[in-house]
């Protein structure tokens, strides 16, 4: 029976980008986007709803260097497995950002990974695209993790809750014990996730 490390590497390389899943197993739907980027730009002061895919620059493939590897030939005790995991972490922790979104007001749904909690509420957290990200190893690429700093502490928000976060997107790199993030949002609004109307 294959061990945890090899199973993880195999699943990551075969699965491609993760599908966001809330607690009940129903996919976290992609938010409805404006018909054209120009439509979003024409409404100053209004946050543009984006998907997680928008955070990845065109042409960047997180699995490029790992697709042709045969993990069936290794087990967790194989030094090659640990070297591959280290190589993957280095590549993912330096994942590039999409420069077209920097400085833009955005709105994105995701799952909460608390970093600093207080009696007043969450003072900072990571926003991730799928249930269990950063809780289980390895965390997603850094361009799939957003460090969120709420304007005021977020009350009633717990680990892995699904929320909408709105605010200005910047490229402040954050290294936390839960994972590296390439993006930051100083959140003006944090709201419970509801599926957009169709």
Report the CATH number of the 20-61+96-192 domain: 2.40.50.870
- Cα–Cα nearest to 182, from 172, 192, 195: 172
- Per-domain boundaries in the chain: 20-61+96-192
Place of tokens 């200005």: 168
Residue 67, beta-bridge partner list:
none
**Distance set, CA 136 to CA 4, 8, 132 (Å):** 11, 10, 6
pTM to 2 decimal places:
0.76
pLDDT per residue as tens, the chain (198 positions): 344 444 555 555 544 444 444 444 434 434 333 333 443 444 567 899 999 999 999 988 887 777 776 666 777 677 877 787 788 888 889 899 999 999 999 999 999 999 999 999 999 999 999 998 877 767 899 999 999 999 999 999 999 999 999 999 999 989 988 889 999 999 999 999 987 666
> How confident is the model at residue 71, as a pLDDT?
64
């Amino acid at each position: 029976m294959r061990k945890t490390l090899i199973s993880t590497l195999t699943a990551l390389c075969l699965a491609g980008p993760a599908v966001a899943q809330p607690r009940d197993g129903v996919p976290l739907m992609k938010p409805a986007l404006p018909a054209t980027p120009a439509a979003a730009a024409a409404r100053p002061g209004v946050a543009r709803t984006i998907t997680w895919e928008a955070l990845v620059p065109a042409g960047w493939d997180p699995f490029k260097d790992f697709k042709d590897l045969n993990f069936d030939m290794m087990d967790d005790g194989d030094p090659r497995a640990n070297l591959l995991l280290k190589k993957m972490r280095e590549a993912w922790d330096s994942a590039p950002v999409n420069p077209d979104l920097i400085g833009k007001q955005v709105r994105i749904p995701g799952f909460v990974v608390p970093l600093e909690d207080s009696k007043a509420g969450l003072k900072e957290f990571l926003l991730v695209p799928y249930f269990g990200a950063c809780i289980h190893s390895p965390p997603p690429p850094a361009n799939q993790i957003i460090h969120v700093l709420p304007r005021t502490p977020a009350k009633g928000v717990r680990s892995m809750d699904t929320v909408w976060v709105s605010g200005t997107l910047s490229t402040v790199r954050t290294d936390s014990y839960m994972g590296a993030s390439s993006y930051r949002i100083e959140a003006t609004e944090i709201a419970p996730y509801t599926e957009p109307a169709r």
